Amino acid sequence: MPIAIKAAAGIIGSILAIIALVIAVLKGILGLISFITLAIKIAVIGLFVAVFIIIGLMVFRTFRDSRKSKE
């Protein structure tokens, strides 16, 4: 096999390896971004649930206090 073909194959192989590494890194970054997005969504949902619970407790306390003051 001539040296020129071996050199060309080496360069092409190196380029393909670099492309494969870039694709693997991008895939990992996309996975990280999707995980962070999921964590933010869960945090927002938890925050809304907490706000609704706090509002419900405030309404219940006000209702209970108004019934005590009538007696």
pLDDT of residue 10: 75
The answer to pTM > 0.85 is no
Task: Give the pLDDT of residue 65.
Answer: 82
Residue 14: its pLDDT value, please? 84
Q: Which of 12-16, 28-32, 56-60 has the lowest mean pLDDT?
A: 12-16
Count each helix (H run) and each strand (E run) in the chain, helices first: 1, 0
Q: Which residue has the tokens 């869960």?
A: 42
Q: What share of the chain is helix, strand, coil (3-state, %, to 5)?
A: 95, 0, 5
